Structure formats: C-alpha cells, structure tokens
Structure 1
C-alpha cells in the first residue's frame, strides 16, 4: 500500500470515528436522561475498553500481561488513563525488545 493510500485510509477512519461520535451525541439528545441512563453512558467507554483489551491480552502472551499490569499500576498511581495506556504500550515494547520477540 502506498503512503498516499495509507493516509487516505487513516483520514477516512478519522472521519467515520468523528461521525460516529457526533451522531451518538446528537442521538443521545433524544433519550430521556434517567439516573440509570447516565450511569450506563458514564461506564460505557470503560466497558468497551475492557472488551477490547482482555482478548488482546490473552492472545498477546507475556508482553500483554506485562502491558496490562503496568497500565493498571500506572492508572492507580497517576489517576489518568492516557499516560497509563502509554506506559503499558511502552512496557510491552520494552518486554518484546528485551525478550527478542518480533
């Protein structure tokens, strides 16, 4: 795949992601907000993240377990999700580099 095609694919993915988020925000405006609905929406992102991370961790082997462990510890210490995820990714990369996994 050429660089131009790759950039077009990334741009298309970004537009679809934005449309999905904007559409979701628009549609939620029509939903009556009960306490139950608010709780559902509040915890939805975390549930989706877990649904993506757990299978990847199980398939990932040792570096997946290291990445998730570091990310969990970093989240507990830093209280911020994005740096914790970044540290988990870094830990997996360092583990793979140290263990010689390609």
Structure 2
C-alpha cells in the first residue's frame, strides 16, 4: 500500500481545519453573552442535525424506517439526543419484526 503525498496533505489540512474550528469556538464563546433565544437556538441544533441525517433513509426505504424516523423526531422534541436515537432503533426493530421487512 502506498500513500499519496497529496492525499496525506489534504487529510492533514482538513484535520487541522477541524481542530482549529473547534478550538476557536471554545475560545470565542467565552466572550459572548448567551441569552435565552440564543440558548434555545443552540439546543435545537442536535435534533435538527439528527433529522437531517435520518430523513433521507426514512424517505428512501420501507415503512419500518419511516415509522422509526417519525418516532425519533417525536422523541427528539422531549428527550435527550441519545434517548431519541434509542427510541428510533427500538421502533425500527419492532416494526421490522411485525411487518417482516
């Protein structure tokens, strides 16, 4: 197996950009006052990202996955993110067992 120097440099550049972005966010947030509206907006990001990840699967596959996506979306409005994902996994497992998909 050979390592292409250009690919290696691209990977290192992307890793550096990712780390710098995260560190800059942690440093800069200390100088920003977060009000109630900003806090609500920040809390809405994880469920929004979760739905963006699972929506294509829900729309491109069968009814069990669609039910699981709906259950995950509903759970994400009230539960922590990990619990919402667990609810979706549980629903898809039960729906596949019942529907036979």
Q: For the superposition of Structure 1 and Structure 2, which TM-score range results when normalised by the shorter chain?
A: 0.5 to 0.7
Q: Number of residues paired by the alignment?
A: 82
Structure 2 distance, partners of 1:53, 1:76, is 15
Q: Which residue does the alignment assign to 1:91?
A: 91
Q: Which residue does the alignment assign to 1:27?
A: 24
Structure 2 distance, partners of 1:71, 1:61, is 16
1:90 Cα offset (Å): 1.2
Structure 2: state its 5+ residue gaps. 1-17
Deviates more, 1:27-36 or 1:62-71: 27-36
Return structure 1 stretches of 4+ with deviation > 4 angstroms.
Answer: none
Structure 1: state its 5+ residue gaps. 1-19
Structure 2 distance, partners of 1:23, 1:94, is 43
Q: TM-score, normalised by structure 2?
A: 0.54
Structure 2 distance, partners of 1:71, 1:46, is 9
Q: Which residue does the alignment assign to 1:14?
A: none
